[in-house]
């Protein structure tokens, strides 16, 4: 990615101080999503490293991962797998508890969403502490997925999420980094 593209994408993301609590700077991608050119460039940059590779599925975490993951899946001619909060999927599911920056939650996936050995890329808007992404990788692996990579628009590097995924043997790609959280 060129420095100009990185700057363009960074500028398309709104920063909201003291949300959801004092001292936190919330990185809001709705401004990027609402800008057709920025959205297209972000999706193109997420897709580019995998163009020409055999990818079976893109997994996206609720909710912004659905938007980005669906677009990436379309571009790569791959299927899309939603990873949802507990109780939202209608068929047989597998569930995992995971740590959030502010507590614990549970997410689930349909048991038959991925066939054993299928190559899957995890997509979401942001990697912070990594709790949600690590839980998603564990969930995908539990149903037999080969998680080849995880990609995010935003990385908050001082929170250590990237390192947690890399420790699981998952390649991590991000488009922009922000200091402070």
Check 64, 84, 162, 173 and give the catalytic one: 64
Residue 107 backbone phi and psi in degrees, to 5:
-135, 160
Identify whether 101 is a catalytic site residue: yes
Gap between the terminal Cα atoms of the chain: 24
Residue 66 · residue 85 · CB < 8 Å: no
> What are all long-range contacts of 26-30, with beta carbons under 8 Å and residues at least 24 apart?
27/126, 27/154, 27/156, 27/178, 29/64, 29/125, 29/126, 29/153, 29/154
- Determine the Cα angle at 56 with ends 52 and 59, to 5°: 110
Residue with the two structure tokens 């250590």:
160
Identify whether 179 is a catalytic site residue: no
Check 62, 95, 101, 177 and give the catalytic one: 101
Active site residue ranges: 64, 101
């Amino acid at each position: 990615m060129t420095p100009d593209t990185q700057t363009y994408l960074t500028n398309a993301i709104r920063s909201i101080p003291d949300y959801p609590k004092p001292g936190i700077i919330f990185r809001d991608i709705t401004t990027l999503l609402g800008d057709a050119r920025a959205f297209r460039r972000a999706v193109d940059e997420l897709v580019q490293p995998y163009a020409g590779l055999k990818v079976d599925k893109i997994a996206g975490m609720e909710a912004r991962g659905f938007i980005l993951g669906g677009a990436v899946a379309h571009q790569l001619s791959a299927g899309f797998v939603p990873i949802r909060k507990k109780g939202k999927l209608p068929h047989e599911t597998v569930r995992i508890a995971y740590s959030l920056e502010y507590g614990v939650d549970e997410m689930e996936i349909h048991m038959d969403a991925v066939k054993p050995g299928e190559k899957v890329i995890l997509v979401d808007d942001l990697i912070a502490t990594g709790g949600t992404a690590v839980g998603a990788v564990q969930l995908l692996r539990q149903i037999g997925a080969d998680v080849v990579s995880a990609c995010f628009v935003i990385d908050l590097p001082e929170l250590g999420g990237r390192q947690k995924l890399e420790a699981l043997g998952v390649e991590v790609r991000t488009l922009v980094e922000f200091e402070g959280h």
